[in-house]
Amino acid sequence: MKLHELRPAKGSRKKEKRVGRGQSSGHGGTSGRGHKGSKARSGAKRKYGYEGGQNPIQRRMPKLGGFKNIFRVAYSVVNVNKFNIFEEGSSVDPQVMREKGLVGKSLPLIKVLGQGELKKALVVRAHNFSQTAKEKIEKAGGKAEVI
C-alpha cells in the first residue's frame, strides 16, 4: 500500500446536503424546513424551554424556595476537649470562652458538646449542654451549669 492509494473507510465520508438548489435536487422549495412556522424562518433559534406559546413549565411551577424554620435556635458550639487550656477549678463562662477564642461573636448562645476528653475539674456555664458533655464534665469532677 502506498500513500496515494489510501482511501477513507466506506461510509465514513458523506456529501454535504446542499439545500435550496432547485426542485430536482430533492431539497428545493422550502429546503427541508416545511411550510411556515418559527423554525421555517431565517435565523430562527429555538428558545430553551419554549413550548410554542403555551406557558412554559418553569413559569407554571411555583417558586420552590425551600423551608425556613423560624423557631430554630442557633448556638455557637464548643467541645469539652477545648476546656483543657483552663486551670484546675476555674470557672468557664461565655465571656471567658469568647476572650480565649473558643467561640465566635456572631451567635450569642453557646452549646457545649462532648467530643474529646476533659482532664480538669471545671465549673462550666453555658446555655445548653449535650448529654455526653454533661457526663464528661461531671466525671472529671467539675460542674455543668445551664445559664
Each residue of 87-120: pLDDT tens digit? Answer: 888 899 899 889 888 888 888 899 999 998 988 8
What's the mean pLDDT in 132-136? Answer: 92
pLDDT of residue 65: 81
Could you give the number of structural domains in the chain?
1
Which string of DSSP letters, residue by residue, matches 101-130? TSS-SS-S-EEEE--S---S--EEEESEE-
Mean pLDDT (the chain, rounded): 90
In a domain, 127, yes or no: yes
The answer to the question of residue 19 being in a domain is: no
Residue that the C-alpha cell 466506506 belongs to: 10
Q: Give the domain range for residue 124.
A: 76-146
Could you tell me if residue 141 is inside a domain?
A: yes
- Full-prediction pTM beyond 0.85? no
Mean pLDDT value across residues 36-57? 85
